[in-house]
Structure 1
């Protein structure tokens, strides 16, 4: 049964209509949708996922008109979102409560193999209460979920935070069941007002519309880095790590040549990436530190963004 059909079939006996936070009213609808779902017998997927993308702290007015009982879930959602001037949209795996002027439309077409793998990884439960974006992403990174491609091992979720400093972001509160990893990630990003950029080896959460990280052409393929875990490292410390790992991983024990041009911004670099080409890891170090990466036949060159 489609989500739209569920919304019109599940009957909600009663729900709060006044003097409670929207988040509390939605939680009641979410729980009752699971309790009174008679459409999912035997499937194991009961109820409807409801995500508050915006307006969770809004409070239903004291006088909200007639009390409504025994109505379809769709009508109950229309009622409580209308009371606070919001709307709901029916999406593939959840109902999303949004601002009236929110015109974002989910894009389900996958453009990278990483997205395809993320879509096939189903998370039985994703539950956050007032989590930061960093906390939510770290949870999703380590949550393996269920992978529907037989015995194949899913690739790791590598994510990169490339965000403006000092921006206050809404906390993330969601309660989702049987949701693909890419959809859970999308809702976390939308609540936090950030964009997602899918590169071949990582997802980048950013405040700006950016193109995929482009690697400069090199003379030979770079080895795969099993793990890079940097936490508040300086640019110098990060590049030292890359040089050391290049000596360990290159068959001839050669060291990657890296040149940093004067004027490189001071940066605190936090990256946790696994099973990623060494040159790609270097590319992300450059990006989050405010540099661009190029290659001059013998060396990788980091130069400040905007430097000619």
Structure 2
């Protein structure tokens, strides 16, 4: 059975646990090949569990802008340096926003951040006023993560909801394919399934931490949008981030209503590939094999 804990275990502890199990069962497993087989089965099963079950983590940490440098050629762009510190939390591939008076960018870090560590980075931001630049950590809560994902006619259908429960965002996308742009539809609805019009939002899509779509200050007059990413470089999952700015007519921002400043995140994950299914199949067969060996050994011990 695979169990996902909210802690991360060092590899050395894992192998120590495997060694401990083997030591306690060495009296029953006199055959060297049996001990080797058990070692690899346990290791393989744990790797399969970590592949198929994601580990979650909290996002109580801090990110600060450390330096802002003007670009030598473009007056409305600056280089922003930032530092992200995990404090007491383990951050699993954290995401941060860098916002200004002209745009909001979402950055996704490739690596996890262990407790008590910090990491720095830089990005380019568009702004007319550097005092408006700020950073924040994107929280991962049940309210703004995708609620459900299904596959219908080779289309991946995902749904997310705003924190106030009013706005439902439906994303209907193709599966990520290397060398092909991914097309997807956005639908904005209320909880009753009715289309909500005049939605203002930003949208960013990333694959392998590379931006494949970045559109700012978008407006959906009729509550639906059809968008296309750049050509994808792999079959890896695509992360789609939608920042809601409110409901209303452009140019009258002071009259906009509804959720504002919220980020709804989707992970467009392709169907299980052949490698993942092979890992699962071999793992199950290995467990069945070692179980049968245990039963045979126990029966022979009883008869003797």
Greater share of strand: 2
TM-score by shorter chain over 0.5: no
Greater share of helix: 1
TM-score (normalizing by structure 2): 0.22
